[in-house]
Structure 1
């Protein structure tokens, strides 16, 4: 009797599976199989060196706060351009005079570094390199008008891009082109202590300019923005505008994170909608661009983490493991591109 019951259950299970498979279209089954395959560890491309990236963060911070219209800002910009040139990139600068929220004219410089400039298939990687002039989210109000080091908010994204450029230069194994764009004047947005009303147009000024003044004939398959990608305890949730404008790129990058072994840093969960450099790239330049930006859902001080726009955004609070997770994920994405 037990054998009959067991046989019956086996037949019933087979029928259920067959019935379920019948309801799945070939496209659905293909998508499920691709998702399951992505869960398996399969790293490709060179190894991202987190120690090197950490050193790049430190080198930027050594200039001091890189707020707009300061000598530290200008000297760091020259250093960034030289480093990309050392790693075989064709480097140019896009200069502009941009008006800040308070009418201040900002001497802006977008730095464009092209790896394999002759390649027609291109991926855009970008990050802002300026720093916040005011620590207006610091728990100590006496610090609100002081500039920040911007180790995470600014330097970390540039550092990851520099290390990727260095690895591409060393390996020479990537056949597609990559454009590293260091965007300026991102963090001159209206401070919390200002009397004027905050507007999203006061942020990402360099990205707005770049999106409206693309190099002649410029095209990119898609873009990835790196913002605050070195913080302690950081996790990267699916950002809202990224899901609105480029959901397939989000899936691609999250799949790459799992394949590279860093899926725990990229939860399959949604974060907020962030006004950032990727918004004008999507809206103005029509380049589908996603934002890899840290999201701390349980942090009471800020969902961007405890150091955001505070004097604690310094090298002491940069985590090599976070840099590694993001950098290796981007390398995995690039080396799985056809």
Structure 2
């Protein structure tokens, strides 16, 4: 007889209380039938029927608490390498740190190394890193953020040719995914999750080259996910996360589920149920190519100003640690954990 862990009490109840009564005739037949039915039901209570939602058992368990301080420290660590511009020593050093960190947390880590053309005459190295949890699970979610920084601060009022730290534009999304990975190592949901750290997202007038490469050269042949969540500029002070147009077009259901989770967690000021005002409804970002090339419905969580414009530090030297706000990090990070450890496919 197979007894599932956690049901030993019922098993012992049958052996120690009911069986002696059978032989001593101290239990009459109707009583015996009731007791046996009760005890056997308890023994089988932990078994799941084939096809049941593999998150049902976790539905009543509170999600982990997101540690904004830990994520903030991960932003500091990335900035310590200097601007993570493709083709620089900082790119290699940060890639080595990311890969080592993820290998200590994930079940499987893939590294894609290639070169991508940023002009007809110039190629730069590209390093995509993918960390997988429960890699054998058929039902999956994709989480992604870019980790590179722009080589020039072209929107800066004074230093348009200087590189930038990319504290918000790059490092904040990576930091939230790293903190998420720590929780996933400690407590895996009953489905698969893949963390994609993309490179060469923001190279001058070329965007999302690392993601385009990944979408055409999937780390696992035939890779599919139920949907994807992109985190980009998710740590800025006074950020508002509107429902961006491409996201609504391709992945409105899971996007609304995420917004619902944020509002239910008390972060309604961060997640309004509206598109960006001011003509910035559709944004070209990594999710564009995940949707169009990889055919995985993916939405973008991207920080904007309340008027719908991109953050004032976008592509400037002001995108440094001073613009990072722990409350913004907490709002996005806790919302993400609430989705992952809730009912992420009920939309």
Aligned to 2:257: 252
Equivalent positions of 1:32-47 (< 5 A) are: 44-47=62-65
Cα deviation, 1:95-151, whole Å, max 9, x if unaligned, reads 1110004632010011000012122211000000000100000122xx111100000
Normalising by structure 1, we get a TM-score of: 0.80
Aligned to 2:143: 125
How far did residue 289 of structure 1 move?
0.3
Aligned to 2:303: 294
Aligned to 1:285: 294
Aligned to 1:193: none
Q: Does 1:232 pair with 2:232?
A: no
Aligned to 1:313: 319
User: Root-mean-square deviation (CA), in Å?
Assistant: 1.5
How far did residue 43 of structure 1 move?
9.2
Aligned to 2:98: 80
The answer (yes or no) to whether the contact 1:44–1:260 under 8 Å persists in 2 is no
Aligned to 1:218: 223
Equivalent positions of 1:109-120 (< 5 A) are: 109-120=127-138
Aligned to 1:153: 169
Cα distance in structure 1, aligned partners of 2:326 and 2:105: 22
Cα distance in structure 1, aligned partners of 2:204 and 2:88: 17
Q: Does 1:63 pair with 2:81?
A: yes
Equivalent positions of 1:131-150 (< 5 A) are: 131-140=149-158, 143-150=159-166
Cα distance in structure 1, aligned partners of 2:211 and 2:190: 27
From the CA coordinates, give the structure whose radius of gyration is larger: 2
Local SS of the residue matching 2:197: strand
The answer (yes or no) to whether the contact 2:106–2:131 under 8 Å persists in 1 is no
Q: Does 1:323 pair with 2:329?
A: yes
Higher mean displacement: 286-295 or 98-107: 98-107
Unaligned runs of 5+ in 1: 1-41, 191-201
How far did residue 70 of structure 1 move?
0.3
How far did residue 173 of structure 1 move?
4.5
Normalising by structure 2, we get a TM-score of: 0.78
Aligned to 2:201: 186
Cα distance in structure 1, aligned partners of 2:126 and 2:67: 30
The structure 1 segments of at least 4 consecutive aligned residues displaced by more than 6 Å after TM superposition are: none
Cα distance in structure 1, aligned partners of 2:194 and 2:307: 35
The answer (yes or no) to whether the contact 1:296–1:305 under 8 Å persists in 2 is yes
